[in-house]
């Protein structure tokens, strides 16, 4: 079940941190590592710090974008410093552990996303996450080492996993669990939504303000399932047809 939880490291500068993260993961029983544009990987320094977690490094997936790293995921949690201009649903590390484990136990794919050593995740990357998680820290010295942050969240995943009693798993047959839309389906929806909003004149690409992030946050919160997704896509398609008619009419005038 823990194999449904992947650790995603975005644009890591120091290979030693990749090794340290791999070791922390394996210590806690996690094995799936995805690296988005690492500066230096594979590297002897990563292997040295992994000190025995070479299998995690060897099977690590290297990808070119966060989007690729999140394919198939239905729960994405991004690490973040607390204050951001746009408030977002927050988890503390303990809640992050229990939510990740609960969702992984349902067969969902979960991603824990960690940003750059100095700059963290960008606002755009954070807006791809359902939740942000903040590791409580000394306000005067708040930036954890990357591998240390992976250690804390992985530890909370393991603790939640150990605490989970098998009989507590819901097996209510009446409760049909509808399959959630994956992150890639959500991204296609957001793309479709954005172009539709431009088309109907609600979104000005020159002055986008916080419109798309706000809509991402809204839909991100509600765990959209697949049948709902097809309704939403259908609405957009019909809206576009209507808007095209409008555009033709304007041309005709």
Applying the rule CB under 8 A, the residues between 63 and 122 that interact with a second copy are 82-85, 87, 90, 93-94
The token pair at 198 is 């431009």
Task: Indicate the residue among 63 and 98 with the shorter CB distance to a second copy.
Answer: 98
Task: Indicate the residue among 138 and 167 with the shorter CB distance to a second copy.
Answer: 138
CA pair distance 49, 16, nearest whole angstrom: 6
The residues near 3 (Cβ < 8 Å, ≥ 6 apart) are 31, 32
Residue 96 C-beta: closest distance to a second copy, Å: 13
Start-to-end CA span in the chain (Å): 61
> Quick check: 135 binds a second copy (CB under 8 A)?
yes
**42 upstream amide cis, omega within 30 of 0:** yes
Beta bridge partners of residue 34, listed in sequence order: 8, 61
> Quick check: 162 binds a second copy (CB under 8 A)?
yes
The token pair at 19 is 């090794």
Residue 35 C-beta: closest distance to a second copy, Å: 19
104-107 — which CB contacts under 8 Å span 24+ positions?
104/1, 104/2, 104/4, 104/5, 105/1, 105/164, 105/169, 106/177, 107/4
Q: Which of 5, 6, 12, 26 binds a second copy (CB under 8 A)?
A: 26
> Quick check: 167 binds a second copy (CB under 8 A)?
no
Interacting stretch for a second copy, rule CB under 8 A, among 98-106, 122-130, 136-144, 180-188? Answer: 136-144
Closest CA to 112 of 143, 66, 145, 81: 66
Task: Indicate the residue among 64 and 172 with the shorter CB distance to a second copy.
Answer: 172
Residue 68 C-beta: closest distance to a second copy, Å: 27
Total residues in contact with a second copy, by rule CB under 8 A: 76
Contact 10, 116 (CB under 8 A): yes
The token pair at 165 is 């009693």
Site string for a second copy, 204-243 (x = CB under 8 A): -------x--xx-xxx-xxxx--xx--x--xx--xx-xxx
Q: Which of 109, 128, 197, 213 binds a second copy (CB under 8 A)?
A: 197
> Quick check: 61 binds a second copy (CB under 8 A)?
no
Residue 49 C-beta: closest distance to a second copy, Å: 8
């Amino acid at each position: 079940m823990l194999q449904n939880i992947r650790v995603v490291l975005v644009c890591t500068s120091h290979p030693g941190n990749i090794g340290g993260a791999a070791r922390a993961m394996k210590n806690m029983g996690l094995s799936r590592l995805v690296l988005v544009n690492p500066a230096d990987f594979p590297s002897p320094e990563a292997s040295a710090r992994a000190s025995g977690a070479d299998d995690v490094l060897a099977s690590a997936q290297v990808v070119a974008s966060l989007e690729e790293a999140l394919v198939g995921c239905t729960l994405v949690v991004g690490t973040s410093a607390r204050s951001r201009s746009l408030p977002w649903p927050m988890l503390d590390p303990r809640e992050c552990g229990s939510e990740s484990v609960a969702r992984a136990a349902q067969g969902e794919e979960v991603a824990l996303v960690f940003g750059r050593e100095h700059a963290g995740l960008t606002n755009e990357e954070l807006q791809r996450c359902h939740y942000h998680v903040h590791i409580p820290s000394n306000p005067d010295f708040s930036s954890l080492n990357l591998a240390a942050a992976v250690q804390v969240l992985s530890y909370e995943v393991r603790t939640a996993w150990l605490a989970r009693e098998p009989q507590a798993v819901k097996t209510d047959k009446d409760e049909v669990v509808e399959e959630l839309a994956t992150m890639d389906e959500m991204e296609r929806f957001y793309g479709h939504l954005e172009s539709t909003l431009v088309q109907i004149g609600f979104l000005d690409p020159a002055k986008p303000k916080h419109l798309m992030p706000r809509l991402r946050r809204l839909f991100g919160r509600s765990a959209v399932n697949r049948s709902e997704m097809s309704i939403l896509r259908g609405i957009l398609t019909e809206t576009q047809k209507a808007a095209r008619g409008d555009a033709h009419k304007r041309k005709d005038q």
